[in-house]
Amino acid sequence: MSGIPALLGALGLVALVFGFLNLIVGLVGAGIDPFWVIGNLAVGALLLVVAGAQSVESLRERLASGGARRAGRFGSSAILSTVFAIGILWLLGFLATRYPVRFDWSEQKVHSLSDQTTKLLAGLDADVQALALFPAVEAPPIREILERYAYASPRFHFEFADPTERPDLLEKYKIAEDQLGHGLVRVALGEESTQLTDVSEESLTNAIVKLTRTTQKTVYFLEGHNERATAGEAAAAKDGYARAAEALGNERYQVKPLLLASQGEVPSDANVLVVAGATRPLLGDEHAALTRYLERGGALLVMIDPRAKTDLVDDVRGWGIEVGDDIIVDRKLALFGRATTPFAGNYDTTHPITKDLRETTLFHVARSVRPSEASKQAFTELVFTGEDSWAESDLDRFYAEAVAELDAKDLKGPVSLAVAGTLTLSPAAAPEAPKPEGEAKAESEPSAKPARIAVYGDSDFASNELIEAYRNRDLFLNTVNWLMGDVEAISIRPNRSRASRFQLSQEQFTAIRSLSLFVLPEAFGVLGVLTWWSRRRAPER
C-alpha cells in the first residue's frame, strides 16, 4: 500500500486507536464521550475501507510475491511481541491490585502520613468508619487521603456516596443539605461521630483523636500579669495565643483562663498550668499558690521573655533553673538576617519532647535558659541555637545603641533556649500537733509526688504569628503532652497546607480531560502520519 491509500490507512488506524482508548478510559470510570468515540471509530473504519478499496490490486500482487511472506513473518512476530507485552503489563497490574505496596520517594514525604497519624492508627482498638459524601468531581483528592488511612490500618474503613444519589444517608445520619457545601466526611467510632467539611490529614487525625480520647484534660493559662491571651479580641492578635489554644483543643485538651489572685489555689482539675509571657510581678499569695501546686505534683510551663518585669525568674531559680538576663543573637542562622529571630535546629534526642524533632524551630527575642550546676541531673536542655550564636549580656547598650558584640561575659553558642525536668518539692515542715494518748505515731509520711516543669526563654514562638512556622507547633504541643503525662501523644503532626483550591464543574473537568488525553495526542498522531507520508513521497517528486 502506497500513495494516497497509505495515507488514508494510517489516518484510519490513528482514529480507531484513539476511539478505542476513549472507550476503554470511559469504561473504567472516567466517563464516555459518545460523540468522540463514535466519530473516531466511524471515521477510522471508513478511511480503512477506502484505503483497502483503492489498493486491492497492489495487495494481490504483494501477496503473490516473496515480500509478502517476509512481511507476514515479521508482522506475526511484531503482533506476538505486542500481545506478550500487553499480557505482562496486565499481570503486573493484577499483582499490584491484589498485593498493593505504596512508595513515597518525594523529598518531603508529601504522600505519607505523619508520625502523629501513624501512631494514632497503630493504637486503635476499635474500628473507625468514615462515610464520604461528595459528588464525583470532588471525590478524587478526598479518596486519596482516605486510602492512605485505610492502607495504614486495617481498623480504618471508608465508603463514598454521592449525596444527590443517596438522600437516604442524609436522612439516616440527620445531615442537613446546607451542611454539605462541597461535601463532608462523617467519622464514627462506636456510637460517637463527628463531621468534617474541610478534609485534610490534620482535620481527619484531629477528629479521630477526639473520638478516641474519652476523658478531657484541662490546661489552665495564668492571667492578670499581662500574659498572652487565649480568648477574646486580644487572643486573635498576632501576639495572642488563639491558635495555640485551638491546637490544644485539637488534642482534646480543654483550655481555661486562671485568675489566681481570685481563686487562691490552682484548681484541682488543672493538669497543666501555663504562664505565657508575664510582664508584671505576681502577688505573694500567688507565689505561694504556685509552690503548693508543685508540691502536690503539678505540671508547670513557664515562658519568660527578655527583660520581662516579672519576678518568676526568682521562683524558677529556686527550682534549679537559671534564666539569663540576656538576649540571644545569631547573625548567620536567623530569619532574613534578623539576628534576634534565631532558628534552633539542634535538640536533645533523649528527652521525649524533642527526640523526634528534626526540622528547625523559630524563636523571636529570646533569652538563655539552662539548669543550675546543682540540678543538671534533674533537668534537660531541650533546644539549642546555632554554633555562631551567643547570649548578649550587655542589654543596656544593645537596646540603646543596637550594638551586640561577643565578649568574655557573654554565653557562647550553641545556647540553650529551654529546659524540662522533674522536681520534688516537700511541704515546709509545720509544728506537729500533740497526739492523744495511746495513738501511735505514723512511721513515715507518704513521699511527695514529683512535679513536672518546663521553662522557655521566649513566648513568641507559640504566638499566632509564629506557631505555624516550621516545627513550633510540635514543640509547644509536645511540651504540653509531656507535662500532661501523655507521652504517647508526643509526635510530629501533619503540616498545614496553605494551597488554594481550584474548583471545576463536571463539564469543565470532562473538557480538560478530553483535551489532554485525546484531542492533543490525536492531533500529534495525525501530524506524525502526515510528516511520514510527505517524507515517503519526497523521492518521487
pLDDT per residue as tens digits for the range 92-105: 777 776 666 666 65
The CA angle 110-114-115, to the nearest 5 degrees, is 145
Task: Say whether 257 sits in a helix, a strand or coil.
Answer: strand
Q: In this structure, what C-alpha cell is assigned to residue 105?
A: 520517594
| Mean pLDDT of the region 157-179 | 86
Range of the domain at 330: 213-424+448-489
Closest CA to 23 of 33, 11, 8: 33
Question: If you write DSSP's letter for every residue of 363-386 in order, what string do you get?
Answer: -SS---EEE-GGGTTTEEEEEE--
Q: Which residue has the higher pLDDT, 11 or 316?
A: 316
Task: Say whether both 170 and 219 belong to one domain.
Answer: no
Specify whether 233 is located in the same domain as 352. yes
* pLDDT tens string 397-435: 998 988 888 888 999 989 999 999 999 887 753 334 344
Q: How confident is the model at residue 52 (pLDDT cuts 50, 70, 90)?
A: confident
293 lies in the same domain as 348: yes
CA distance 407 to 385: 18
Break the chain down into helix, strand, coil percent, rounded to 5: 45, 15, 40
Indicate the residue among 142, 177, 203 that finishes a domain.
203
Which region holds residue 301: left if phi is over 0, alpha if psi is between -120 and 50, else beta? beta
Residue 253 lies in a domain: yes
Higher pLDDT, 238 or 73: 238
Which of 28-32, 180-184, 280-284, 333-337 bottoms out in mean pLDDT, i.e. has the lowest? 28-32
Domain identity same for 154 and 229: no
Per the omega criterion (within 30 degrees of 0), is the bond before 414 cis? yes
Does residue 443 fall inside a structural domain? no
Query: Structural domain tally of the chain?
Result: 3
Can you say whether residue 404 is alpha, beta or left, with left for phi > 0 and alpha for psi between -120 and 50 degrees? beta
Which residue, 203, 234, 253, sits at the end of a domain? 203
Label residue 26 by pLDDT band (50, 70, 90): low
> Do 458 and 378 share a domain, yes or no?
yes
**How would residue 541 be classed by pLDDT, with cut points 50, 70 and 90?**
very low
Query: Among residues 196, 201, 210, 217, which one has the least CA distance to residue 115?
Result: 201
Query: Same structural domain for residues 483 and 357?
Result: yes
* Per-residue model confidence (pLDDT) at position 229: 95
156 shares a domain with 64: no
Query: Could you read off the pLDDT of 240-294 as tens digits, one per residue?
Result: 999 999 999 988 899 999 999 999 999 999 999 999 999 999 999 999 999 999 9
| pLDDT (average), residues 495-521 | 60
Window from 115-124, 125-134, 252-261, 530-539 with minimum mean pLDDT: 530-539
The CATH number linked to 343 is 3.40.50.880
- Do residues 384 and 511 share a domain? no
The verdict on 474 and 413 lying in the same domain is yes
| Residue 221 lies inside a defined structural domain of this protein | yes
Average pLDDT over every residue of 46-52: 79
Task: Report whether pLDDT(111) > 70.
Answer: no
The rounded percent of the chain whose pLDDT value lies above 70 is 81
Tell the residue number behind the cell numbers 444527590, with chain if given: 164
Most confident segment among 120-124, 144-148, 301-305, 356-360: 301-305
Q: 74 and 127 share a domain?
A: no
Given a contact cutoff of 8 angstroms between Cβ atoms, the answer to whether 418 and 369 are in contact is: yes
Higher pLDDT residue, 459 or 495?
Answer: 459
Same domain, 306 and 454: yes
Residue 438 is assigned to a structural domain of this protein: no
Confidence check: pLDDT of 63 > 70 = no
Domain boundary among 203, 237, 270: 203
474, part of any domain: yes
In a domain, residue 404? The reply is yes
Q: What is the pLDDT of residue 48?
A: 77
Same domain, 154 and 301: no
For residue 43, give the DSSP letter: H
pLDDT at 500 over 70: no
Q: Of the given ranges (9-18, 220-229, 340-349, 399-408), which has the lowest mean pLDDT? A: 9-18
Percent of the chain with pLDDT over 90: 43
| Rounded-to-integer distance, Cα 477 and Cα 462, Å | 9
The answer to whether residue 510 scores a pLDDT higher than 70 is no
Cell of 325: 538576663
Q: Under 8 Å CB-to-CB from 343, ≥6 apart: which residues?
A: 330, 333, 334, 335, 360, 361, 362, 363, 385, 386, 470
